[in-house]
């Protein structure tokens, strides 16, 4: 409180006044119309740096490696892009990555939807807390640690096979193959899908479902004609995130794939680090960025950016 005898303000007030005067001097009232731009400046700077990096990468991709000096040749050429189309392995790996992205997205959405629905609709605080903790706990464990965990559980002498052999069954080949990579990715992506679906489902009032049922729709019809359309923003958002994360994943194919189920990120790593071919690695990176961006753009074209609530129209 102000000291009424001397009229001096408390120290904290005087400090805040000083800060106010500093801000007013640095950012005069006339510039307040630019406040919005100031707030998005860090994000723009980050994107700008990313674009500059992509620009450098695009430039490198147009130079072939000189095996005599292991430096990129000065001449521009499309040899690296030609290598991508001429060597079947790259198309095979890209196809594998895209297929995995589609499968993991579909499975993750199917599994995430009931989880998110239960978390939103349950009346029990204990169940909601349990579901939330189970959802966030995996984020404290990195992807690599989780992959190694699956090696222990699914390995030939792992938990599952120990149970199988104890029951007299032959050991199963559960890891170091493509299905193991898909499995690991679904387990990793599930929390992301749930997190993106939950706000969309929470925005659907329970009374909407009640209204549907009161008009004679059973649960299946309510689910199909009410829930799914209203949850579209969440479904689109979750699909985009899970699809792009899966397409660009490195760790799961590296650890669970046994070296024979590489994704495009593994091929990029090999180009940069194993054969020191900066040009080829850059070309593969650019191709991945282009394909990934094109697919996301396609999804938004079909579903519309309005589905994410960013149409720009004031509600």
Partner 1 sequence: MSTQNRATGLSRRRFLATSALAAGSLAMPRIVRAQEPEKPGELIVRAWGGAWGDALKEGVTDPFTEMTGIPVRLDFTEDNEIKPKIWAAVDQGRVPPIHVNWDTTTNATISALRGVTVDLGDLKGLDKLLPIAKPVGLDGWPLVNTYSYVYVCAYRPEAFPDGAPKSWRVMLEERLKGRVALYNDGIGFNPIAVLAGGGTVKDIPDNMEPGYEFYRALKKNDPLLGEDPDFTTWFQNGEIDIACTISVNARAAKQNGIDVEWTVPEEGCKVDTDGLWIPKGLPENEEYWAKQLVQYAIGRDAQEKWCAALGLPPVYPGLEPPADLVGDPAYPTTPEDFKKLVRIPSPVLVENQPVWFARFKEIMQG
CA angle 257, 90, 276 (to 5 degrees): 85
Burial degree of 100 (CB within 10 A; 0-12, 13-18, 19+): buried
Considering the rule CB under 8 A, would residue 88 count as an interface residue with partner 1? yes
Instruction: Measure the N-to-C terminal CA separation of the chain; round to a whole number of Å.
Output: 43
Q: Is the dihedral of CA 90, 93, 98, 101 positive or negative?
A: negative
**What residues pair up with 66 in beta bridges, in sequence order?**
71
- Applying the rule CB under 8 A, the residues between 45 and 74 that interact with partner 1 are 65, 67-71
Considering the rule CB under 8 A, would residue 18 count as an interface residue with partner 1? no
Residue 274 or 315: the one with the smaller Cβ distance to partner 1 is 274
Number of residues that bind partner 1 (CB under 8 A): 33
Look up tokens 């959802």; give the residue: 135
By CB under 8 A, name the one of 4, 35, 218, 260 that touches partner 1.
260
The one segment of 87-95, 122-130, 133-141, 283-291 that binds partner 1 by CB under 8 A: 87-95
Task: Write each residue from 201 to 240 as x if it is in contact with partner 1 (CB under 8 A), else as -, in one continuous string.
Answer: ----------------------------------------
By CB under 8 A, name the one of 222, 262, 283, 286 that touches partner 1.
262
The one segment of 74-82, 172-180, 202-210, 301-309 that binds partner 1 by CB under 8 A: 172-180
Look up tokens 């805040």; give the residue: 16
Considering the rule CB under 8 A, would residue 259 count as an interface residue with partner 1? yes
Q: 126-159 b/e with 16+ CB inside 10 Å = b?
A: eeeeebeeebeebeeeebeebbeebbeebbeebe
**Which residues would be at the binding site for partner 1 (CB under 8 A)?**
65, 67-71, 87-89, 92-93, 151, 155-158, 173, 176-177, 258-262, 267, 270, 272-278
């Amino acid at each position: 409180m102000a000291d009424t005898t001397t009229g001096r303000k408390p120290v904290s007030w005087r400090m805040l006044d000083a800060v106010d005067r500093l801000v007013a001097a640095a950012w005069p009232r006339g510039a307040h119309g630019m406040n919005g731009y100031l707030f998005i400046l860090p994000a723009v700077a980050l994107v700008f740096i990313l674009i500059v990096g992509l620009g450098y990468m695009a430039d490198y991709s147009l130079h072939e490696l000189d095996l005599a000096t292991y430096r990129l040749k000065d001449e521009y050429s499309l040899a690296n892009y030609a290598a991508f189309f001429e060597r079947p392995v790259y198309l095979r790996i890209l196809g594998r990555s895209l297929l995995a992205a589609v499968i993991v997205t579909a499975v993750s959405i199917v599994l995430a939807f009931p989880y998110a629905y239960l978390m939103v609709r349950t009346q029990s605080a204990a169940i909601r807390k349990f579901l939330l903790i189970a959802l966030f706990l995996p984020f404290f464990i990195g992807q690599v640690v989780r992959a190694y965990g699956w090696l222990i559980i699914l390995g030939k002498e792992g938990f599952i096979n120990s149970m199988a052999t104890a029951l007299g069954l032959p050991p199963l080949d559960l890891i170091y193959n493509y299905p193991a990579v898909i499995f690991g990715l679904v387990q990793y992506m599930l929390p992301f899908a749930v997190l993106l679906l939950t706000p969309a489902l929470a925005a659907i009032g329970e009374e909407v479902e009640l209204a549907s049922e009161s008009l004679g729709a059973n649960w299946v019809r309510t689910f199909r004609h009410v829930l799914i359309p209203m949850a579209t923003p969440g479904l689109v958002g979750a699909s985009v995130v899970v699809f792009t994360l899966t397409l660009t994943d490195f760790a799961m194919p590296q650890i669970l794939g046994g070296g024979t189920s590489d994704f495009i990120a593994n091929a990029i790593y090999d180009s940069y680090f194993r054969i020191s071919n900066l040009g080829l690695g850059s070309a593969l990176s650019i191709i991945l960025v282009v394909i990934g961006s094109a697919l996301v753009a396609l999804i938004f074209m079909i579903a519309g950016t309005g589905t994410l609530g960013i149409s720009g129209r004031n509600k």
